[in-house]
Homo-oligomer: A and B are copies of this chain.
Amino acid sequence: MRKNILVPIDGSEHALRALGEAVEMTKAFGEKIILLNVQYDLETFHTRRFFSREQIQQYEREMSEEVLSPAVEVLRKYDVEFDVKTRIGSPKKEIIAEAKEQKVRSIVMGSRGMGSVMGTVLGSVSYGVIHEAPCPVMIVPARE
């Protein structure tokens, strides 16, 4: 039995707009929201020359908290139950992995995120998520 709503947060306005829709669904179902931010892995041969693994991971955590904090504020205001998660890797792959692990009811996301290519209808992350999601994906448009 699938439940709860996964909302990927990438720091874009689109993601926050999608969050508003997710709040309504979550309230209707009496479930909770799982906020997920995916950070690219900064640990490479080059970064490791200058920083320790711990420093790099600490920086990734801080970046993720910064991106997630406006979403957390929104959810506190609406009095909705939620979990906050950070994953490191490729956004599409990690969103799908989280959806599978948590067996979520659905993924709710904006039509485009920060990494979208101008001129395409769907950002590549949204498109990729629709392609491989184990559950329904709700795409929230940018316009009113």
Instruction: Give A contacts to B, CB under 8 Å.
Output: 18, 21, 25, 28-29, 106, 108, 111, 121-122, 127, 130-131, 133-141, 143-144
| Chain B neighbourhood of A140, CB < 8 A | 136
- The contact sample of 11 A-B pairs, CB cut-off 8 A, is A21-B136, A25-B28, A106-B138, A108-B136, A111-B130, A122-B130, A134-B141, A134-B144, A136-B140, A138-B138, A139-B139
Report how far A18 CA is from B122 CA in the complex, Å.
21
Please name all residues of chain B whose beta carbon is closer than 8 Å to the beta carbon of A28 when the two chains form the complex: 25, 28-29
Is the CB–CB distance between A136 and B133 below 8 Å?
no
CB <8 Å contact, B136 and A138: yes
The distance in angstroms between the C-alpha atoms of A16 and B137, with both chains bound, is 16
- Distance of A31 from chain B, by nearest CB (Å): 9
Known: A28-B25, A28-B28, A28-B29. A131 touches B138 (CB 8 A): no
